[in-house]
């Protein structure tokens, strides 16, 4: 990867915490007021808006990041992704071929692939859009204001409706048009159970 001069970005109002650890593709465009933290890499045609915070150690390839977004640390934005204004993509989240609407957030440990996500959506920790059936990719749609609880699997093609909720720990394979979608086994507590080492 060729190391390019960051002078033009600095003159344009971009702030770098560590120029030596930042690698930008020549096609990268960055708006004024954006802060680039250490270890950021961009690949191919990347557009980053104004007043964003990127990194540390975020990798962005062939994607568009809107104004006011917060990305990272350790985020991977893969090709054909588009984040609207004020989106937050946090620790160890991967986004691929996905559109994320204004004000939505995925803060922790999630995979969002082949998805259309609306405005003001909350994506809980550990959420996966299950986009591949072994033959082809399918789309997950999450409409405005929806809330997806932690550790949810959304098996595409599937739609989570406007302001609908998905309960934590659910594996959703049918649309949730409104209200609450729950898809998990009922808890049982086996009080007399013992681990194998303790059994006679």
Other residues' Cβ atoms within 10 Å of the Cβ of residue 169: 16
- Residues pairing with 134 in the sheet: none
CA distance to 8, 25, 62, per residue, from 5 (Å): 7, 10, 20
Tell me the C-alpha distance between 185 and 181, whole Å: 13
User: Is 20 in a helix, a strand, or coil?
Assistant: helix
For this structure, is 108 an active site residue? yes
Question: Which among 76, 108, 135, 138 is annotated as catalytic?
Answer: 108
Other residues' Cβ atoms within 10 Å of the Cβ of residue 62: 17
φ, ψ of residue 35 in degrees (nearest 5): -105, 125
Question: Which residues are known catalytic residues?
Answer: 108
């Amino acid at each position: 990867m060729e190391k390019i001069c960051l002078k033009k970005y600095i003159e344009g109002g971009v702030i770098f915490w560590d120029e030596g650890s930042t690698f930008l593709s020549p096609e990268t465009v960055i708006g004024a007021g954006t802060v680039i933290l250490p270890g950021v890499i961009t690949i191919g045609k990347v557009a980053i808006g104004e007043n964003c915070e990127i990194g540390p150690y975020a990798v962005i390839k062939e994607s568009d990041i809107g104004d006011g977004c917060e990305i990272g640390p350790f985020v991977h934005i893969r090709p054909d992704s588009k984040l609207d204004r004020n989106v937050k993509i946090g620790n160890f989240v991967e986004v691929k071929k996905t559109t994320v609407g204004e004000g939505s957030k995925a803060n922790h440990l999630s995979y969002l692939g082949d998805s259309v996500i609306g405005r003001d959506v909350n994506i809980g920790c550990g959420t996966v859009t299950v986009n591949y059936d072994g033959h082809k990719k399918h789309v997950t749609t999450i409409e405005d204001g929806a809330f997806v609880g932690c550790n949810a699997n959304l098996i595409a093609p599937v739609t989570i409706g406007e302001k609908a909720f998905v309960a934590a720990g659910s594996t959703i394979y049918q649309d949730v048009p409104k209200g609450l979608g729950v898809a998990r086994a009922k808890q049982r507590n086996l009080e007399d159970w013992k681990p194998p080492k303790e059994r006679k």
